[in-house]
Amino acid sequence: MASLKTADTFTSATRVLLRGREGAGVSVPPIACGTWAWGDKTWDYDEKRDMAGIKEVMNALLSLGIPFLDTAEVYGSGESERLIGKLISELPDARNKVVIATKWLPLPVMPWRLMPRGIVGCLKDSLQRLGLESCDLYQVHAAWTLPYSHASVAKNLAECVKLGLAKTVGVSNYSKEQMIAISDLLDKEGVPLASNQIEFNLLRRLPETTGLIAAAHERGIVPLAYSPLAMGRLTGKYSAANPPSDKRKFSAMPMEEIEPLLVVMRDIAQARDVPVSAVALNWVLCKGAIPLGGARNGKQAEQNAQCLGWRLTEDEVQRLEAHSKEGKTNFWQKG
């Protein structure tokens, strides 16, 4: 399996191993598709308008050889999972090719979800919506596990694997220290921590500067980078005169502050004949993380895939990072 950080280049044939129990695991493409916008009214989802585009995405991902989908029970209150299940059922042999990752959201205001076997029950609900017997990766969406301990969460995650409901397990938005702690606890249960999904992009390099990504690599944990395009800010679509909407809160900052970075990104994109977004995604790959780029139609999926087949030079990386931002943590994002 490839190490993204040391790979000479990244292609659709590149595969990264998510570690599973007893030496097993799941081989995944170097880029994934985030599906928060699928079925979620937060992103103005309309079935009549958007379903055709979502089908285009699935077909494009299969054709490109990168069918890796990341969803969550909370996306559209389960509608994202239902849509994915419907698409898989309609496409011949799709289940044998598509990698499915979903998430459990711990909610202290709903303590029954945190009780023993609560995680297992929530996974069973997700699998029913997805129309699957098991998922490839099951993740804890956030580090909100109070009043229950990391040990309880680890035990229940491990149970998901032992019951055959999930092939691998991961976390999301965990800090370096939290990631290491739950990794150690899972090891005691005989199940490795496969991944940590964090917001990571040129406007939020915190997972790199805090040592989280390095610690993940040392332990065989795969960093998954959500919002690698900073909620569209790094696509080249937006500017100071045309800023993104208020709902794009991750990586929020005035476009005027981002413009120096976008100038460099446009220059590199033009020289390499790729979209601006591909530059942002390739930078994430160079750091040894799998970018989760969203797509609502086939064209966007194909544009995201143009981050493959090449690698930024050290000089290009330095030019980009000269105008990058560190970002910060908050109540949701610990890592």
Measured N-to-C along each axis, helices 255-272 and 276-286 cross at an angle, to the nearest 10 degrees, of 90
Domain assignment of residue 263, yes or no: yes
Q: What is the domain extent for residue 220?
A: 16-321
Contacts of 233 (CB under 8 A, 6+ apart): 203, 244, 248, 251, 253, 255, 258
pLDDT value at residue 329? 86
Nearest to 39 by CA among 170, 162, 130, 147: 130
Does residue 145 register a pLDDT over 70? no
Measured N-to-C along each axis, helices 314-321 and 255-272 cross at an angle, to the nearest 10 degrees, of 160
Does residue 274 register a pLDDT over 80? yes
Nearest to 77 by CA among 107, 120, 33, 100: 107
> 45, 75, 138, 148: which one is catalytic?
75
Count of domains in the chain? 1
CA distance 232 to 226: 12
Q: pLDDT tens-digit profile of 47-69?
A: 656 788 889 999 999 999 999 99
Nearest to 289 by CA among 209, 201, 204, 229: 201
75 in active site: yes
Q: pLDDT tens-digit profile of 176-222?
A: 999 999 999 999 999 999 999 999 999 999 999 999 999 999 999 99
Q: Are strands 193-199 and 135-140 parallel, antiparallel or unpaired?
A: unpaired
pLDDT confidence band for 27 (50 / 70 / 90) = very high
Domain assignment of residue 315, yes or no: yes
Domain assignment of residue 284, yes or no: yes
Domain assignment of residue 93, yes or no: yes
Q: pLDDT tens-digit profile of 102-123?
A: 999 886 545 555 555 578 999 9
pLDDT confidence band for 248 (50 / 70 / 90) = very low
CATH of the domain at 235: 3.20.20.100
Q: Which residue has the higher pLDDT, 208 or 334?
A: 208
* Whole-prediction pTM: 0.94
Rounded mean pLDDT, 286-314: 96
